[in-house]
Structure formats: C-alpha cells, structure tokens
Structure 1
Amino acid sequence: MKYTSLQLDALKEVINIGGGHAATSISKLVARKIEMDVPAVKILSYHELYQDILADNVEVHAVISGIVGEYGGIVLFVVADDAVAKLAELMLGSSSSDKAVKMSAVSELTNIISNSFLGAIGKLLEVQLQSSLPVIQDDYFGAVISSAYVALDQYDDQIMVIRNEFTYAKERLDASLFLIPETGVIDRIVKSLGI
C-alpha cells in the first residue's frame, strides 16, 4: 500500500470536509457546538493501530453502516462506555439509565453522522453515497476493527486508517468515526482528485 504524502494530504482534506459536515449536523441536532479534530489518515499495522488509536482489548460499542453508492465500504462509529452516556444525553436532552434507549440514540446519531459525512464526500467527488441502516455491535475494539477489514476482504498486515474524533465543550468525546473503503476505492478517489 503506497501513497505519496500529497495523496494522503488530499485524502485527509476530503475526510476533513466530510467530518466537518458531520460535526455541523450533530451540532444542529443537539443545539450545542460539537467540534471535530483534524482527521487522521495513516497507514498502520494492526500492532500500531492498537498502540496509536485504541488497545485491542478495550470494550467498545460499535455502530456499523455499509456504504451504498458508487464507492463501497463501511462507516464504523466506535464509542467507549462513558461516551455512550454523554452522546445519548446530548441526543435525548436528559440522562437515561436504560441501555437500549442510550444505544438507540447513539445509533440514530450515527445514522445522521454517516449520511452527512458521506453526502459531503459524495458531493465533492460528484458521486452518490449514503449509508445503510446501522447495526450495533458490543465487543472488544480489536475484534470490531479486524472483522470490519476482513468483511471487505482486506487481509493485509498494513491498513489505511481514516478516522475523525469529536470534542464537546473542549472535552474529547471518546468516539471515533472510521471510514473503511473496499479494496480499490482509495485508488479511485485519488484518481478522481487528479493526483
């Protein structure tokens, strides 16, 4: 997997636009300012991924949506336990002790984030992209992320990690949005950008 620094910067800018639209959508929905960090676009081994991003044995809630349109892949929203309660409270306007209610709120939030994210990227690349209905999975981060890549027939030791993080009131939300494209999609995006 070889890409130039210019190509990676261009991909980062595409993801930045998509993530910015997603953060704006969340802010409008919850009537509070949600910000997005500069996105990460890195090529890492799984070992590096678990060191740099999140340990493989951390339990997470993952909301998985397929990408429907000219480009295929998965949008994966990974949320730690404490962030589920915070995001659900933002969505519902009050706290809830019911796990099903909290996860339903986070699932709906993910649906909005994914479609906003993909819509902005699709507009930039002049293609139609949207997400399928989300599926919730509770598991260890290592199991979630590796099964997502394997589902797309990506068995390489090196993977491209495309990730956005969000913050609320200067506090980092322990939630990350991953874009996991099908094999060949990144090459097509780079080509469409003329790089």
Structure 2
Amino acid sequence: MSYLDLNDLQLDALKEVANIGAGNAATALSQLLSTTVNMTVPSINVVSFDDIFTEIGGEQVVIGVLVRVLGDTPGNILFIFEKKVALGIISKLTGEDTEEITELGNSVLCEIGNIVSSAYMNSIAKFTNLVIMPSVPAATYDMLGAMLSTTFIESGQFDDYVLDIETAFLQDNLKINGHFYYIPMPGSLEKILTSIGIK
C-alpha cells in the first residue's frame, strides 16, 4: 500500500497514533531532562521523495538516528535533527560546548532518538496489540538524501512517498525540532491499519 492510497479515515487514525506517540515522548524527555517538556501537535504529511530533496533539502547535512522496527510490523524509523539542534541537546544534557559531535554527544543523540522512536512504537503497539520492538539506535551525520535512500533500500520499500511526522518539543529555551520518517516494509502499514479496525 502506498501512502497516497490512504483515505481520510486511515490518515486520521495514523495522526491519532502520532499524537499519542508525541505525548509519550514528551513525558519521557521530561524525565530525562528533569524538567517539563511541552510538545507541539505533530504535523503529519505524506511527502514524495522528490519533495524532500527540493523543499527540505536532500543535500542538507543533518544528524539522523536510525531505529529498526522489529516484530509484527518491520520497517525503519529515521529521526532527523539539524546539527544546531543536536548540539543544543548535547550541551543541555552534558555541558559539552563544542561545534563537533563527540562520542558522548553521539550517545546522547542515540538515547533521544531511542526515546522518541520507542514512544511512537509503544503507541502503535497499544493501539494494535501487535508486537513491535525497537533495535539499538545508530546515529549518523550525512546528507538527508543519502540517509533516506539507504533507509528505503533497507526496508525493501520502493514507494515514492513517505510519512513525515514533524514534531517540536519545547523545554525552556531549548527547542527539539525534528522530522520523523516511518518507512515500513511492504505489508506492515496494512497490518497496522487492519489491527485498529480500519482497512
């Protein structure tokens, strides 16, 4: 199933799952940062691979955290930050003030990506009663287009469209703004929709 084939009811169901996932992620980030973290309502769009290259910038160098989805609905989750945002997160959590991402900073970003991705996976699992587990996250610094291409190929996904969930988490003067791409393996999206009673 292509994301373009989704009807309004199916898209609304995915938006509801995303809302709950973002709320869970905000709670988990609050615990990690020991302070209140608020969230914006996620903006969910079905975007073409070409649009990502032209509008978001396929050649833009970004930080990506890749988490493989294991279990009943295999696929990949890619969480993207701008480098400036990533460095702000690292500085907040570690006190490191640097222009480059160190090994410690890399670990921090993996943990953030793990928290956000797990929150979304848990919300899908709760809705569907499916078994969904995250892999150990891996962080990388590369062009957005290269990351997405690799993630699509690994997922065996040849659709030209992807679900882009844009969420901002707000804590004091720190804004964690990222794009969250869910790239399911063929058949996984249908299984999720069937499990919540929407075909």
**What residue number does 1:37 align with?**
40
Amino acid corresponding to residue 65 of structure 1 in structure 2: V
Alignment CA distance shift 1:170-1:101 (3 Å): closer
Match of 1:20 among 23, 26, 29: 23
Report how far residue 10 of structure 1 moved.
0.8
Is 2:129 the counterpart of 1:126?
yes
* Moved beyond 4 Å, runs of 4+: none
CA contact (8 A) 1:34 1:166 kept: no
TM-score normalised by structure 1 residue count: 0.88
Map residues 142-181 of structure 1 onto 2, 5 A cutoff.
142-157=145-160, 159-168=161-170, 169=172, 172-181=175-184
Deviations 1:39-93 (A, max 9, x none): 33333222222344x211110111111111211111211111111111112332x
User: In the aligned structure 2, how far is the partner of 1:96 from the partner of 1:172?
Assistant: 17
Map residues 2-81 of structure 1 onto 2, 5 A cutoff.
2-52=5-55, 54-81=56-83
CA contact (8 A) 2:39 2:167 kept: yes
Give the SS at the match of 1:19.
helix
User: In the aligned structure 1, how far is the partner of 2:168 from the partner of 2:85?
Assistant: 11
Q: Which stretch shows the higher mean deviation, 108-117 or 17-26?
A: 108-117
CA contact (8 A) 1:96 1:102 kept: no
- Structure 1 unaligned runs (5+)? none
Aligned Cα RMSD in Å?
2.0
Q: Percent identity?
A: 27
- Structure 2 unaligned runs (5+)? none
Give the SS at the match of 2:58.
coil
TM-score normalised by structure 2 residue count: 0.86
Give the SS at the match of 2:118.
helix
Alignment CA distance shift 1:162-1:185 (3 Å): farther
User: In the aligned structure 2, how far is the partner of 1:51 from the partner of 1:13?
Assistant: 28
Report how far residue 11 of structure 1 moved.
0.8
**What residue number does 1:83 align with?**
85
User: In the aligned structure 1, how far is the partner of 2:182 from the partner of 2:92?
Assistant: 24
Q: Which stretch shows the higher mean deviation, 178-187 or 55-64?
A: 178-187
Aligned length: 192
Q: Which stretch shows the higher mean deviation, 141-150 or 177-186?
A: 177-186
Deviations 1:120-163 (A, max 9, x none): 22122112222111112211011111221121121223x13231
User: In the aligned structure 1, how far is the partner of 2:142 from the partner of 2:12?
Assistant: 32
Alignment CA distance shift 1:102-1:29 (3 Å): same
**What residue number does 1:107 align with?**
110
CA contact (8 A) 1:114 1:131 kept: yes
Alignment CA distance shift 1:15-1:187 (3 Å): same
